[in-house]
């Protein structure tokens, strides 16, 4: 796990440095953007009468995009990577605070000034094993368990950093490539199965990205809604991401990241007043606030200056 954390940022940074080095010779139709950050915190107590626990946390993020626009064609590609760990003195196991692999590729053919006929491919999973609590011995997630692959056809509206993708024809594959999780029928797969197919569904995806305050504040947010027409279409899957990045000084930034997920097939154990345990789907929410090292580039800023 430590190797993944230590390698993620250098790998992403090298990729971005290489991409930035190519911006001077970049064809006009292409725009490259990238950002990477590493944040850390530490608390240490010695003879502290009020009490406390030594703790340390380290989180890394990378967000890369390569977009093509020429004539009637538009092709947007985005890759998000995130991994983080925390250490506490009383807990032997390192706890995962962030674990994300999220890739999307969207190709559009212009229909009107702002609307495109569009095909969208998406892939989401995580790097390593996760546990519901520090005392659990068996994982609740792993690499490719779950993994989500989506394919959608529809119309995409784009204007001034805002996009609205409407797809009445979507499909999704849920992969649970873990014998333990598969045997429990986790994430909606049949017991013992590896793949669940949702072939007839609809999807709505909204996105907004903009810089404020002389480009010192960067906002990026996406919202995905997915409904399976053939199995309880009223149970809409929700995935919302929000990022607010403040540039404090060159090489330093503060970040606020929020994520909310609702998936009727991702259930947790809940115990009632009588001690009865049952599995229910609930809104999942994660908040992260951090300050640390940051690096970013945007080839579109070079184009504006020319």
DSSP string, 26-88: --TTEEEEEEEEEEEEEE--SS-TT----EEEEEEEEEEEEEEEETTEEEEEEEEEEEEEEEE
Average pLDDT over residues 251-270: 87
Bridge partners (DSSP) of residue 15 are none
Q: Decide if 197 contacts 173 (C-beta within 8 A).
A: yes
Residue 278 is predicted with a pLDDT of 77
| Alpha helices, H only, the chain | 2-21, 179-183, 299-305
The answer to whether residue 302 scores a pLDDT higher than 70 is no
Q: How confident is the model at residue 291 (pLDDT cuts 50, 70, 90)?
A: confident
Tell me the pLDDT tens digit for each residue of 200-231. 999 999 999 999 988 889 999 999 999 999 99
Half-sphere exposure of 223 (CA within 13 A, CB side): 8
Residue given tokens 């950002």 in the structure block: 35
130/212 Cα distance (integer angstroms): 36
137/124 Cα distance (integer angstroms): 25
Burial zone of 246 (CB within 10 Å; 0-12 exposed, 13-18 middle, 19+ buried) = middle
């Amino acid at each position: 796990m430590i190797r993944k954390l230590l390698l993620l940022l250098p790998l992403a940074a090298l990729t971005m440095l290489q991409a930035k080095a190519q911006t001077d010779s970049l064809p006009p139709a292409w725009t490259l953007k990238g950002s990477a950050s590493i944040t850390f915190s530490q608390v240490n107590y010695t003879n502290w009468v009020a009490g406390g626990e030594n703790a340390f946390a380290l989180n890394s993020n990378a967000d890369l995009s390569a977009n093509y626009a020429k004539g009637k064609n538009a092709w947007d590609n985005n890759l998000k990577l995130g991994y983080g760990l925390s250490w506490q003195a009383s807990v032997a196991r390192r706890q995962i605070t962030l674990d994300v692999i999220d890739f999307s590729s969207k190709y559009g053919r212009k229909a009107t000034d702002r609307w495109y006929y569009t095909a969208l491919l998406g892939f989401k999973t995580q790097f390593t094993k996760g546990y519901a609590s520090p005392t659990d011995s068996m994982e609740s997630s792993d690499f490719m368990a779950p993994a989500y692959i989506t394919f959608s056809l529809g119309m995409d509206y784009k204007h001034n950093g805002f996009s609205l993708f409407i797809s009445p024809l979507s499909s999704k594959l849920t992969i649970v490539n873990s014998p333990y999780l598969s045997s429990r029928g986790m994430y909606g797969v049949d017991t013992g199965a590896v793949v669940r197919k949702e072939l007839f569904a609809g999807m709505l995806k909204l996105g907004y990205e903009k810089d404020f305050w002389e480009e010192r504040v960067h906002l990026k947010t996406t919202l995905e809604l997915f409904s399976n027409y053939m199995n309880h279409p009223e149970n809409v899957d929700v995935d919302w991401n929000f990022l607010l990045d403040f540039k404090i000084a060159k090489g330093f930034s503060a970040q606020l990241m929020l994520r909310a997920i609702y998936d009727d097939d991702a259930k947790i154990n809940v115990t009632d007043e009588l001690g009865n345990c049952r599995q229910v789907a609930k809104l999942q929410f994660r908040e992260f606030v951090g300050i640390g090292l940051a690096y970013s580039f945007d080839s579109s800023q070079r184009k504006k200056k020319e």
